[in-house]
C-alpha cells in the first residue's frame, strides 16, 4: 500500500481559502503549501463569479442518449450536445452508485474516501444500518469539493445529491441531503406496506398485512417500532371506493388513485408523512390491494426527536436535520411542497419494490411523481436562493433501470412485460420526460451558466451473475457447514460458511477476501501463506469463462495495485477483478454490454458459478461508463471529449472554472481540451 501522507480537511482548507483567482488566471501552477505563490492569487470580485449548474442523472447512459438524440427524441439533450462538449467517460474501478457519487463529491476514489459500495459498514465493532453504511458521516474521510468551493468564497447550493447527509455547513450556502440520509430508519415497518384481501401475496412477510372485510369494514394498524396506530378501511360497493381513516385523517380513493401526502402521529409523539395508492379494488366483492408508501419525515415536526438508532443516529447527528440551514426543510415545504429525498433509502420506495410490495405501474408512476416534485423544488431554489454553484441529482432513473429493464431469460421477464415495457421502452420514455423537465429547469438559469450533466454509470439488462463464493467452493477454498452441504438449493453468506475450514470468500465489498488469521474474525490463513494464496486465486480467475465459453476476466490484480492512493483500499477484497462484459467502468475491447455481472455476496442456485440475477433486480449498470455533457462560455461546440475522459476529471475542471487549483490529492485532471483554444481557460498560467 502507498505510504504517502494523507491530506486532511484542515490541510485542504489552509490551501484553498484565498486561492479563488479570477477566471483568466485559472489553471495556475500553484503548489499546495506554497504560501508565496498563494499570496499572489486574486479573489473574484463580488457578483462576478461564474455560475455552474451540475445535474446528476443516476444511470444515464451516454451511448443511448446519442442514439435517441439522432432519432430526434431528445431536443434538449440535442441542444446541449451541439452547443458544448460531451462524451462517454471511464469510471472508477467497478464504479457503482454510492462509490461513484462519492468519487464525484470528493474528487478521489475509494482508496482515499473509503466508499466501496452501498453495503452495511462496521463502525466501532457495531454494524451500521443500510443508511448509516452509505452516508457521509460514517464513511467519507476526505473533504468534499462543495465544502472546498464554499470555503473559497463560492456560494454553493445542493439538492438531493447522494452521500450528502448529514448536511454540511456550507459557508453562505445551503444543502438538502440526498441518498444516505436515515429518514425514519431501516426497520421493515418503516418501509412500504401492502394491505390485501387475496389468498396470497408475494410481498415479504414484514411488509404485508392480510385483511378481510366484514360488512364492508375492517380495522388493522400502521406499525412503527412497537407502536400501532389503528387503521380503519371501509368499502363503498355502489361507486367502488375505499375510505382510509386513522388519527384524525380521512381520505376516499378509487382504483388506481394516489392520495396526497398525509400526516401521521404515533403514540410517543413521533410524526411522519405517508401516502396511499389503491392498486386493486372491487368493493362489491370485498377485494382490496392497498399500497402504503414508506414512513417519511414530517418537515413541519419539531427537530431533535429521540434517535432512530441509539448508536448510529444518536445525539451527535440529529436524524431529523437533513437540511442546512435546518430551517430550510420547512421553508421549502411551505413554499413548494414535500421533499422525499432524505427518506430511506432513496426518494421513492425502492426497497418496497424489490420486496414485492410495489406493483410495476406504481413504481413507474412514483418515479415520475418524485422527479416532478424535486424539479419544482430545484426551480424554486434556483430562483429564490443565492448561488454560484448548484448541484442536484435525480435517482428515479436508477430505480427504473434496476427493476424495469429485462431480457428474455430474466426471472421477471414475460411476454406481457415485453409487450408493455420491452426493448428499453421504460427508460426511453423516462428519458424523454427528463428531457422536457431539463428544458423547463434551464429556463430559470442565467444564459451564461456552465451546465454539466453527469452520471455514475449507465444501464443494461443482466443475463447471468458470476458467483465468486460458488467458484471458491469448487476450488476448495471455501467450505460450507456439513449440516447444509448438499441439503439446500442455495447457500447463504455468512451463516452457511464453515469458517474453520474456509481460506477465501467474497462478501459485500468488492473482491475476494483472504480469511487471514489475526485480521478476520475467524481467520485461519497464516500470513506466510497469504501471498501464495493470492497468486493462486489470480491465476485461477484468469481461467474463468463466460457461459458461452469466451474469456470473462478483463483485469485481476492485488488490491494495493487497484487502489494505489490512500489508506482504505484494504477494506475491499485482497484480490480485485472485473470482467469483459460487466460493470467494470473500463472501455474494454469487444462486447461491453453489461450482460454478465458479479454477485459479490451470494451463492448461485445449486452452487452454480453462473446464475440468473435475483428477481426484481434484473438490470444493472451496463459497462458502468459515465455520461459527460458540458456547455457554457468558451466551451467548444459539438466536441466529443470521450478520448481518455474520466469521471474524476469533472470536478477539477469545475474548480478550474472558478480559478481554483485542485488540491494535490485529487485523482482527476483538468479538461483543458473542452475549452476553445483562444480561451484563458484552455491554458495553464505560470505565476511568478
* Spacing of C-alpha 178 from chain mean position: 9
pLDDT on residue 131: 61
| Residue 46 in this model has a pLDDT that exceeds 60 | no
pLDDT tier, 305 (very low <50, low <70, confident <90, very high otherwise): low
Q: Which long-range contacts (CB under 8 A, 24 or more apart) does 421-425 make?
A: 421/360, 424/64
pLDDT on residue 23: 29
pLDDT tier, 354 (very low <50, low <70, confident <90, very high otherwise): confident
pLDDT on residue 37: 32
Q: Considering the entire predicted model, what is its pTM?
A: 0.90
What value does the mean pLDDT of the chain take? 86
- DSSP per position, 394-417: E-HHHHHHHHH---BTBTT--HHH
The torsion angle over the Cα atoms of residues 138, 142, 148 and 151, rounded to 10 degrees, is: 70
Residues 685 and 25 sit within 8 Å (Cβ to Cβ):
yes
Which residues are CB-neighbours of 166 under 8 A, at least 6 positions away? 135, 136, 137, 177, 181, 317, 321, 322
What is the Cα–Cα distance from 177 to 166, expressed in whole angstroms? 7
Mean pLDDT value of segment 16-43: 32
Look at 97-111, 176-190, 247-261, 619-633 and tell me which has the smallest mean pLDDT: 176-190
pLDDT on residue 172: 93
Residues 97 and 58 sit within 8 Å (Cβ to Cβ):
yes
**Nearest CA to 130 among 65, 183, 206, 209?**
183
Max CA distance (Å), the chain: 88
Residues 86 and 630 sit within 8 Å (Cβ to Cβ):
yes
**Nearest CA to 506 among 533, 538, 472?**
472
Residue that has been written with the C-alpha cell 451540475 in this structure: 54
pLDDT on residue 97: 86
pLDDT one-digit tens code per residue, 542-598:
999 999 999 999 999 999 999 999 888 888 899 999 999 999 999 998 888 999 999
In the chain, what are the domain boundaries? 9-185+303-461+625-682, 193-292, 464-612
- Measured CA to CA in angstroms, residue 67 lies from 18, 422, 586, 610 at distances of 44, 17, 21, 31
| Residue 233 in this model has a pLDDT that exceeds 90 | yes
Q: Retrieve residue 432's grid coordinates.
A: 424523454
* CB neighbourhood size of 327 (10 A): 10
| Residue 537 in this model has a pLDDT that exceeds 80 | yes
- DSSP per position, 596-614: EEE-TT---GGG-SEEPPP
pLDDT tier, 269 (very low <50, low <70, confident <90, very high otherwise): confident
pLDDT one-digit tens code per residue, 80-89:
999 999 999 9
What is the Cα–Cα distance from 271 to 648, expressed in whole angstroms? 41
| Residue 32 in this model has a pLDDT that exceeds 60 | no
- Measured CA to CA in angstroms, residue 9 lies from 14, 17, 106, 160, 653 at distances of 9, 12, 11, 23, 20
- Measured CA to CA in angstroms, residue 531 lies from 323, 553, 575 at distances of 47, 20, 10
CATH superfamily, domain at 9-185+303-461+625-682: Alkaline Phosphatase, subunit A (3.40.720.10)
Number of H helices, E strands in the chain: 19, 31
What is the Cα–Cα distance from 118 to 102, expressed in whole angstroms? 11
pLDDT tier, 36 (very low <50, low <70, confident <90, very high otherwise): very low
Q: Retrieve residue 561's grid coordinates.
A: 495495485
Look at 11-25, 180-194, 199-213, 669-683 and tell me which has the smallest mean pLDDT: 11-25
| Residue 182 in this model has a pLDDT that exceeds 80 | no
| Residue 377 in this model has a pLDDT that exceeds 80 | yes
Q: Retrieve residue 650's grid coordinates.
A: 469533472
pLDDT tier, 1 (very low <50, low <70, confident <90, very high otherwise): very low
What DSSP character marks residue 426? H
Which residues are CB-neighbours of 367 under 8 A, at least 6 positions away? 348, 396, 397, 399, 400, 430
Which residues are CB-neighbours of 429 under 8 A, at least 6 positions away? none
What is the Cα–Cα distance from 25 to 16, expressed in whole angstroms? 15
What DSSP character marks residue 537? H
- SS3 for 132? helix
- DSSP per position, 479-496: -B-TTTTTTSSS--TTTT
* Spacing of C-alpha 161 from chain mean position: 9
Which of 93-97, 301-305, 463-467: highest mean pLDDT?
A: 463-467
| Residue 26 in this model has a pLDDT that exceeds 60 | no
pLDDT on residue 130: 57
pLDDT on residue 687: 36
% of the chain surpassing 70 pLDDT: 85
- SS3 for 422? coil
Angle at 342 between CA 269 and CA 53, to 5 degrees: 145
Look at 299 and 593; give whichever has higher pLDDT.
593
pLDDT on residue 306: 59
pLDDT on residue 135: 72
pLDDT one-digit tens code per residue, 102-132:
999 999 999 999 888 766 566 655 666 656 6
What DSSP character marks residue 139? H
pLDDT one-digit tens code per residue, 389-428:
999 999 889 989 988 999 988 888 999 999 999 999 999 9
Residues 350 and 130 sit within 8 Å (Cβ to Cβ):
no
Residues 215 and 236 sit within 8 Å (Cβ to Cβ):
no
Amino acid at each position: 500500500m502507498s505510504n504517502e501522507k494523507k491530506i486532511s480537511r484542515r490541510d485542504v482548507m489552509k490551501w484553498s481559502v484565498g486561492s479563488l483567482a479570477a477566471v483568466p488566471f485559472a489553471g495556475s501552477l500553484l503548489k499546495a503549501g506554497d504560501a508565496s505563490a498563494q499570496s499572489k492569487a486574486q479573489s473574484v470580485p463580488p457578483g462576478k463569479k461564474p455560475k455552474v449548474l451540475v445535474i446528476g442523472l443516476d444511470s444515464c447512459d451516454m451511448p443511448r442518449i446519442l442514439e435517441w438524440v439522432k432519432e430526434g427524441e431528445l431536443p434538449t439533450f440535442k441542444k446541449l450536445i451541439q452547443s458544448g462538449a460531451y462524451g462517454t467517460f471511464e469510471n472508477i474501478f467497478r464504479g457503482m452508485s454510492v462509490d461513484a457519487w462519492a468519487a464525484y463529491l470528493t474528487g478521489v476514489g475509494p482508496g482515499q474516501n473509503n466508499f466501496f459500495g452501498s453495503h452495511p459498514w462496521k463502525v466501532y465493532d457495531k454494524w451500521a444500518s443500510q443508511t448509516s453504511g452509505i452516508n457521509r458521516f460514517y464513511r467519507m474521510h476526505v473533504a468534499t469539493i462543495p465544502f472546498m468551493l464554499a470555503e473559497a468564497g463560492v456560494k454553493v447550493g445542493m439538492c438531493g445529491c447522494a452521500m450528502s447527509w448529514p448536511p454540511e455547513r456550507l459557508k453562505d450556502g445551503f444543502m438538502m441531503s440526498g441518498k444516505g440520509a436515515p429518514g425514519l430508519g431501516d426497520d421493515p415497518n418503516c418501509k412500504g406496506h401492502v394491505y390485501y384481501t387475496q389468498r396470497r401475496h408475494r410481498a415479504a412477510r414484514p411488509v404485508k398485512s392480510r385483511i378481510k372485510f366484514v360488512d364492508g369494514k375492517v380495522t388493522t394498524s400502521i406499525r412503527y417500532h412497537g407502536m400501532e396506530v389503528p387503521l380503519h378501511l371501509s368499502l363503498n360497493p355502489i361507486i367502488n371506493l375505499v375510505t382510509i381513516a386513522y388519527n384524525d385523517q380521512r381520505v376516499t380513493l378509487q382504483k388506481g388513485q394516489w392520495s396526497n401526502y398525509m400526516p401521521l402521529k404515533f403514540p410517543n409523539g413521533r410524526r411522519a408523512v405517508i401516502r396511499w395508492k389503491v392498486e386493486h379494488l372491487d368493493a362489491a366483492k370485498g377485494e382490496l390491494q392497498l399500497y402504503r408508501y414508506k414512513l417519511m419525515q414530517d418537515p413541519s415536526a419539531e427537530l431533535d426527536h429521540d434517535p432512530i438508532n441509539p448508536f448510529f443516529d444518536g445525539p451527535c447527528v440529529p436524524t431529523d436535520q437533513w437540511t442546512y440551514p435546518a430551517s430550510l426543510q420547512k421553508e421549502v415545504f411551505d413554499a413548494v411542497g414535500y421533499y422525499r429525498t432524505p427518506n430511506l433509502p432513496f426518494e421513492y420506495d425502492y426497497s418496497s419494490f424489490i420486496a414485492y410490495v410495489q406493483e410495476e405501474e406504481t413504481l413507474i408512476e412514483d418515479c415520475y411523481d418524485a422527479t416532478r416534485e424535486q424539479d419544482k423544488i430545484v426551480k424554486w431554489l434556483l430562483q429564490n436562493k443565492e448561488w454560484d454553484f448548484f448541484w442536484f441529482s435525480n435517482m428515479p432513473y436508477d430505480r427504473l433501470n434496476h427493476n424495469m429493464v429485462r431480457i428474455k431469460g430474466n426471472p421477471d421477464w414475460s411476454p406481457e412485460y415485453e409487450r408493455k415495457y420491452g426493448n428499453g421502452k421504460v427508460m426511453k420514455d423516462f428519458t424523454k420526460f427528463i428531457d422536457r423537465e431539463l428544458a423547463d429547469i434551464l429556463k430559470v438559469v442565467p444564459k451564461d451558466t456552465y451546465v454539466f450533466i453527469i452520471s455514475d454509470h449507465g444501464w443494461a439488462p443482466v443475463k447471468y451473475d458470476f458467483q465468486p463464493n460458488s467458484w471458491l467452493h469448487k476450488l476448495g477454498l471455501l467450505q460450507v457447514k456439513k449440516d447444509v452441504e448438499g441439503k439446500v438449493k442455495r447457500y447463504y453468506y455468512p451463516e452457511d460458511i464453515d469458517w474453520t475450514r474456509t481460506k477465501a470468500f467474497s462478501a459485500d465489498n468488492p473482491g475476494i477476501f483472504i480469511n487471514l488469521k489475526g485480521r478476520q474474525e475467524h481467520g485461519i490463513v497464516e500470513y506466510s501463506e497469504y501471498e501464495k494464496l493470492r497468486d493462486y486465486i489470480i491465476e485461477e480467475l484468469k481461467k474463468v469463462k463466460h457461459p458461452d465459453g469466451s474469456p470473462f476476466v478483463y483485469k485481476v490484480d492485488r488490491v494495493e495495485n487497484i487502489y494505489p492512493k490512500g489508506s482504505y483500499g484494504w477494506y475491499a477484497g485482497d484480490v480485485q477483478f472485473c470482467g469483459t462484459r460487466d460493470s467494470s467502468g473500463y472501455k474494454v475491447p469487444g462486447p461491453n454490454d453489461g450482460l454478465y455481472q458479479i454477485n459479490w455476496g451470494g451463492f448461485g442456485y445449486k452452487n452454480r458459478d453462473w446464475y440468473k440475477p435475483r428477481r426484481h433486480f434484473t438490470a444493472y449498470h451496463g459497462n458502468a461508463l459515465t455520461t459527460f455533457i458540458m456547455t457554457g462560455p468558451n466551451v467548444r461546440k459539438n466536441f466529443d471529449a470521450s478520448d481518455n475522459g474520466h469521471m474524476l476529471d469533472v470536478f477539477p475542471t469545475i474548480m478550474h472554472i472558478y480559478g481554483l487549483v485542485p488540491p494535490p490529492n485529487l485523482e482527476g485532471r483538468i479538461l483543458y481540451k473542452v475549452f476553445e483554444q483562444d480561451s484563458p481557460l484552455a491554458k495553464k498560467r505560470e505565476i511568478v
